[in-house]
Structure 1
Amino acid sequence: MAVEFHITLPTRARRRRPFPEHLTDPARPVLGHAPADPYDHIAQVARAAELAGLSGAVVPFDPDGEESFIVAGGVLRRSRHLRVAAEFHPAIATPVYAAKLSVSLARFSGDRLDWKLGDLDPLTARAHGDFLDGPERHRRAAEFLTIAKGVWSQSGFTYEGRHFQVLEGGFASVLDDGVPSPLGGRPFPRVHLSGTSPEELDLSAEHAEVHLFDPWDDIESAVERLPGLKYGVRLRVAAREDAAEARDLEGDLVGSYDNVAAGIREFVSRGVTIFHLEATPHLEETYRIGEHLLPLLTKESADVH
């Protein structure tokens, strides 16, 4: 079976060294110098992931970080092969606008955009103007995905739900003048969902292609309700030459390269084929994963990539 490894990108961009004020103050330009690019570090990590042979990158939604769709668009345009999953929540926009934004990103990137639909904790949700509570949040997510898929694939789409309504919407495949529409005819982004509550599993069974677990979840019990999906795990990894070197590191899978590879193989034996990996410092660890960890896995299966 094909196994995919996706690196989680840092949406709180950082510079490696502070720039002198006279180089960053727009009122005091200096010939031959330009301000530091806050996106540069994110782009470097994405480039490292592609060079290292990883399948993709995940752009997490961070209330205090860069906007995930903007970062995803930049990474897609600067890469050739990476699949990029943009994480967002259903209150970010109307499902029609989210679909329109995404179809353009898909068109400009050879259909390499994925959706990772998440949720917000109550305090963060309220800070973002979202006061919906309880099970209605799952109902809204289901309506959001239903509408987004509906307008994506057909014109004249109408839907009346509890949280969203659309009247005669949708992306036509051909415009009135007979010209092919830039919004029509593209495959819908692969949807990643997560959670183990009955409501979350039902949402995934209806709308997801990939269901993500945390490493401590009871994966075997949950997958019985999710036939036909791909299963993924979110893992913080820290791998070194030997276990002693990794002893003071933090993560869900920590140890030597052989130890961490064995842990990943264990998840694969349980049906997991997609890994959303987190590792810091991001740039150095992405190269380390590609150089030392992936070869241990690809030795046994040419499908692992």
Structure 2
Amino acid sequence: MTGASSPSSQQDTQPIKFAYWVPNVSGGLVISKIEQRTSWDIDYNRKLAQIAEASGFEYALTQIRFTAGYGAEYQHESVSFSHALLAATEKLNVIAAILPGPWHPAVIAKQVASISQFTGGRLAVNIVSGWFRGEFQAIGEPWLDHDERYRRSEEFIRVLRGVWSEDNFTFAGDFYRFRNYTLKPKPSSPPEVFQGGSSRAARDMASRVSDWYFTNGNTVEGVKKQVDDIRAKAAQSGHHVKIGVNAFAIVRATKEEANEVLDEILSGADPEAVRAFQHEVQNAGNASPEREGNWAKSSFEDLVQYNDGFRTNLIGAPDEVAQRIVELKSVGVDLVLLGFLHFQEEVEFFGKHVIPLVRALEAKEAARTAA
């Protein structure tokens, strides 16, 4: 159609979005003995959400853990914690991590519908297919093979969308069955559906059913390969997927100061905890048929930050970090999901010193394109 724009061209004109990992799990976001002025408690997190909202962040992602490990001795449940953050803010969207297996889709569909009604539709979900076998064993849940976990997650998402949008919903899948089920009230607006993963099964699932795809930290070139792959697959079915990338931000006045902090994190790494984490996640990453799942090729240094956040290289002075973010946007990234060492003060610093530079670079690029 004449004058129509492609999803990629539309993405180029949209400001890149910013999200942060919610520290609703103890231990911070690095497996290191370095000081982390970050708390998992609700008072700290309510204030953090308000700071993030005022600083230009549009999303917050809560974590889901059922068992302790790798410094995460204490964990608050994701849906209830997300609701508490929504109640403390006015614009921030909160993404609750959901694990199929422990949750039945009817339960989460009803929870999200009610919270959506209470908060103006600001609750989204991140469907986590699962990587930690020991966690499933600890709570008595069957452990499925890698690709079966993604088949279950896809059914889970299809059920959520059906229950949220249809009356007398009927579904006959391999994992879930519904017969003439009607949910009332429904969400005040269709909740966004996020998912993660790097394997073939994860990317294929995103290309069919998800609104957003989260990838672990990676270089610009590595992210581009994933973006191109997912969007080519999605185009075949007329679907469009937005892309979020994980990054651990270390922004200081100078590049040298930022690198010093990175060195301190790595030198303070807890080798025993990192290797235990490495053992679990690389078993999960290598469980995919093509052996290309999350963490399959992560080094020890990469895994000091849970989701390969150092690899995205948002480490340096504000202008350097802003430039790298715009480079990520140029290859199709729509959102950057950020972790920090000291969340409250660093989220505020990032909003004051990095986001305005990103917006200025975006405006400059838009003017150049228009000319």
TM-score category (smaller protein): 0.7 to 0.9
- Structure 2 stretches lacking a partner, 5+ long: 1-13, 28-39, 67-73, 263-309, 366-371
Q: Aligned equivalents of 1:81 and 1:220: distance in 2?
A: 28
Q: Aligned equivalents of 2:78 and 2:227: distance in 1?
A: 31
1:210 aligns with 2:223: no
2:138 aligned residue: 127
Q: Aligned equivalents of 2:192 and 2:60: distance in 1?
A: 13
Q: Aligned equivalents of 1:41 and 1:13: distance in 2?
A: 12
Deviation per CA, 1:58-115, whole angstroms, max 9, x where unpaired?
A: 1121334110111100111111010111112112321111100001111111111111
1:136 aligned residue: 148
Q: Aligned equivalents of 1:119 and 1:248: distance in 2?
A: 36
Q: Aligned equivalents of 1:153 and 1:280: distance in 2?
A: 40
User: Which stretch shifts more, 280-289 or 59-68?
Assistant: 59-68
Match of 1:3 among 8, 11, 16: 16
Match of 1:190 among 185, 192, 202: 192
Change (3 A) 1:109 1:49: same
Structure with the larger strand share: 1
One-letter code aligned to 2:62: V
1:49 aligns with 2:52: yes
Deviation per CA, 1:140-172, whole angstroms, max 9, x where unpaired?
A: 111111111111111211212221111221225
Contact 2:127 2:195 in 1 (8 A): yes
Q: Name the Cα RMSD after superposition.
A: 2.1
Contact 1:155 1:168 in 2 (8 A): yes
Change (3 A) 1:126 1:44: same
1:18 aligned residue: none
1:236 aligned residue: 248
1:179 aligned residue: none
Question: How many residues end up aligned between the 2 structures?
Answer: 272
One-letter code aligned to 2:25: R
User: The residue matched to 2:81 in structure 1 has which SS?
Assistant: helix
1:286 aligned residue: 347
Deviation per CA, 1:196-241, whole angstroms, max 9, x where unpaired?
A: 3221122112211111112324324423223421111111111111
Q: Aligned equivalents of 1:245 and 1:185: distance in 2?
A: 46
Contact 2:326 2:362 in 1 (8 A): no
1:79 aligned residue: 89
Deviation per CA, 1:119-154, whole angstroms, max 9, x where unpaired?
A: 322112222322232122112111111111111111
One-letter code aligned to 2:126: K
One-letter code aligned to 1:161: G
1:158 aligned residue: 170
Q: Aligned equivalents of 1:221 and 1:185: distance in 2?
A: 32
User: The residue matched to 1:196 in structure 2 has which SS?
Assistant: coil
Deviation per CA, 1:1-29, whole angstroms, max 9, x where unpaired?
A: 23110111111369xxxxxxxxxxxxxxx
User: The residue matched to 1:268 in structure 2 has which SS?
Assistant: helix
User: The residue matched to 1:186 in structure 2 has which SS?
Assistant: coil
Task: Choose 1 or 2 for highest CA Rg.
Answer: 1
Change (3 A) 1:128 1:56: same
Change (3 A) 1:170 1:302: farther
User: The residue matched to 1:53 in structure 2 has which SS?
Assistant: coil
TM-score, reference length from structure 2: 0.69
Q: Aligned equivalents of 2:18 and 2:229: distance in 1?
A: 22
Instruction: Pick 1 or 2: higher relative contact order, CA cutoff 8 A, min separation 6.
Output: 2
Task: After TM superposition, give the deviation of residue 280 of structure 1 in Å.
Answer: 1.6
- Structure 1 stretches lacking a partner, 5+ long: 15-36, 173-182
Deviation per CA, 1:273-297, whole angstroms, max 9, x where unpaired?
A: 1111111211111111111111111
Q: Aligned equivalents of 1:48 and 1:303: distance in 2?
A: 28
Q: Give the percent of matched residue pairs that are identical in Structure 1 and Structure 2.
A: 25
Contact 2:121 2:187 in 1 (8 A): no
Change (3 A) 1:142 1:237: same
Q: Aligned equivalents of 2:26 and 2:88: distance in 1?
A: 17
Q: Aligned equivalents of 1:303 and 1:138: distance in 2?
A: 41
Match of 1:256 among 309, 317, 324: 317
Q: Aligned equivalents of 1:262 and 1:168: distance in 2?
A: 52
